[in-house]
Amino acid sequence: MTAPAVFEAKHYKSELKPIWCPGCGDFGVLQGLYRALSAVGRPPHEVAFISGIGCSSRIPGYTTAYGFNTVHGRSLPIAQGVKLANPDLLVVVAGGDGDGFSIGGGHVAHAVRRNIDLTYLVMDNQVYGLTKGQLSPTSPKGLETVTSPLGSLEDPINPLLYMLAYGAGFVAQATPADMPGMTALIEEAIRYPGFSFVNIQSPCVTFGEEDQQLKAHKTKMKTLASLKHDSSNQLAALDLARAYGTELYTGVFYRNPNPPPTYEALVKLRQAEQSKKARPHHQLLEAYLQK
């Protein structure tokens, strides 16, 4: 017998060098991903990264796993197709707040309600960084950007409330300012049997606000564990999620203690049922042909 292969973070790292701005939070997210995948232990050829367009959506190229860089906002439908075509793959979706909650916002609810076993990581920097600092769906009210010279007049969306309201079974938030905590949350999300979501506060050093950088995160972040939050309490999770934009809570907001069957599991079950019903007809045909 041969010993099972042990995978380290380096085994998921490609030769392509990241070209993010120095100090970008996405560097930390990528390292956390490598570590989480090594902890899960699936070989690179059993992992697929699907992304949209944006700074964070470059992640598939920086891994040795399968990768698909889709068009803007369309990562979730592509990821669902990949998972249904090959349910044995571990599928991770990576994108930004603009990619996921602006042009791709309509796909989120349906990915959640289908409960396909995907892990969706959103690197939330409250701005469109790749296209030079425009207003994004999560930009705070009053933020002055090239597209909001008078300051944003809109209330930002709340990704945590969105996901909880849609019925996601696993909802968490992290920051690269806490690498061990973020890595553990990504690993837990990957291991969750169903659709899982991690909102990662990943600062943009070029266009982001000063009070949203990693140094600020280290001083203002509060772990949900320190608040003794019960992650099985959905109502308590909703209440804490309301603080998005004012408090930086990290940890698991909600984890369904009784995860329902995934979409792909239901497909297999239905196929088995149909096959069982059809079996007598096949047997009759075989008996007829043998005569």
Residue 156 CA, distance from chain mean position: 20
Residues 159, 164, 167, 169: is their CA dihedral positive or negative?
Answer: positive
Q: Please check whether residue 266 is in contact with residue 118, taking contact to mean a CB–CB distance below 8 angstroms.
A: no
- pLDDT tens, residue by residue, 214-237: 888 999 999 999 999 999 999 999
pLDDT digits (tens, 9 = 90+) for 66-108: 999 998 889 999 999 999 999 999 999 999 988 889 888 899 9
Alpha-carbon span 280 to 103, nearest angstrom: 49
What's the CA gap between 161 and 244, in Å, rounded? 9
Q: Identify the band that residue 144 occupies on the pLDDT scale cut at 50, 70 and 90.
A: confident
Contact criterion met (CB below 8 Å) for 22 and 205: yes
CA distance 254 to 231: 5
pTM of the model: 0.90
- Binned at pLDDT 50, 70 and 90, residue 291 comes out as low
pLDDT the model gives residue 28: 94
Tell me if 82 sits within 8 A of 50, measured CB to CB.
Answer: yes
- Paired with 258 in beta bridges are none
Q: Residue 171 pairs with which residues in a beta bridge?
A: 197, 254
Q: What is the pLDDT of residues 168-198, one digit of tens each?
A: 999 999 999 999 999 999 999 999 999 999 9
Q: Which residue has the higher pLDDT, 52 or 253?
A: 253
Task: Write out the H or E segment, with its range, that includes residue 67.
Answer: strand 66-69
Contact 71, 53 (CB under 8 A): yes
pLDDT at 254 over 70: yes
